[in-house]
Amino acid sequence: MTGVLRPGHAQLRVLNIDEAARFYRDVMGLVETGRDAQGRVYLKCWDEHDHNSLILREADHAGIDFIGFKVLNEATLDQLERDVRAFGLETERLPAGELLETGERVRFRLPTGHLFEIYAQKAQVGNGLPNVNPPPWAPDADRGMAPTRLDHCLLYGPNVTANKKLFVDVLGFHLVERILGPAEAGEPEIGLFLSCSHKTHDIAFVEYPEPGKLHHLSFRMPTWERVLRAGDIMGMNKVPIDIGPTRHGVTRGETIYAWDPSGNRFETFAGGYEPYPDSRTITWTFDGFPHGLDFPQGKLHESFLTVVT
CB of 112 to its own copies, least distance (A): 25
Residue 236 makes contact with its own copies by CB under 8 A: yes
Q: How far apart are CA 253 and CA 283, in angstroms?
A: 16
- Residue 277 one-letter amino acid: P
Strand-pair partners of 94: 105
Q: At its nearest, how many Å lie between its own copies and the CB of residue 29?
A: 11
For 86, how many CA atoms within 13 A lie in the half-sphere containing its CB? Answer: 9
Look up residue 247 and give its DSSP letter. Answer: E
Residue 264 found at the interface with its own copies (CB under 8 A) = no
**Does the footprint of its own copies cover residue 197 (CB under 8 A)?**
yes
Active site residue 216: yes
Tell me the three state secondary structure of residue 284.
strand
Q: Is 256 in the site for its own copies (CB under 8 A)?
A: yes
**Contact between 303 and its own copies (CB under 8 A)?**
no
Q: Are 68 and 120 in contact (CB under 8 A)?
A: no
The verdict on 136 binding its own copies (CB under 8 A) reads yes
Reported as type and span, the H/E element at residue 7 is strand 4-14
The 36-65 site mask, x for binding its own copies (CB under 8 A), equals: -----------x-x----------------
> Nearest CA to 179 among 279, 10, 304, 309?
304
Show the DSSP H helices in 211-257 as ranges: 224-236
CA distance 271 to 248: 10
* 285 near its own copies, rule: CB under 8 A: yes
Q: Does 302 bind its own copies (CB under 8 A)?
A: no
Q: Active site residue: 117, 216, 254, 291, which one? A: 216
Does the annotation mark 257 as catalytic? yes
Choosing from 79, 159, 161, 297, the residue that interacts with its own copies (CB under 8 A) is: 297
- CB within 8 Å of 187: residues ≥ 6 apart: 180, 181, 285, 286
Catalytic (active site) residue 42: no
Among 39, 88, 134, 188, binds its own copies (CB under 8 A): 134
**Residue 132 Cβ, how far from its own copies at the closest point, in Å?**
5
Tell me how far, at minimum, the Cβ of 147 lies from its own copies, in Å.
13
Burial degree of 300 (CB within 10 A; 0-12, 13-18, 19+): middle
The verdict on whether omega for the bond into residue 245 sits within 30 degrees of 0, i.e. cis, is yes
Residue type at 216?
H
Q: How far is the C-alpha of 73 from the C-alpha of 287, rounded, in Å?
A: 43
In the complex, the smallest distance separating the C-beta of residue 289 from its own copies, rounded to whole angstroms, is 8
Q: Which residues bind its own copies (CB under 8 A)?
A: 1-3, 5-6, 47, 49, 70, 72, 124, 131-137, 142, 148-149, 197-199, 222-225, 228, 231-232, 234-236, 238, 241, 244-247, 249, 252, 254, 256, 271, 273-274, 276-285, 288, 291-292, 295-299
Return the active site residues. 152, 201, 216, 248, 257, 267
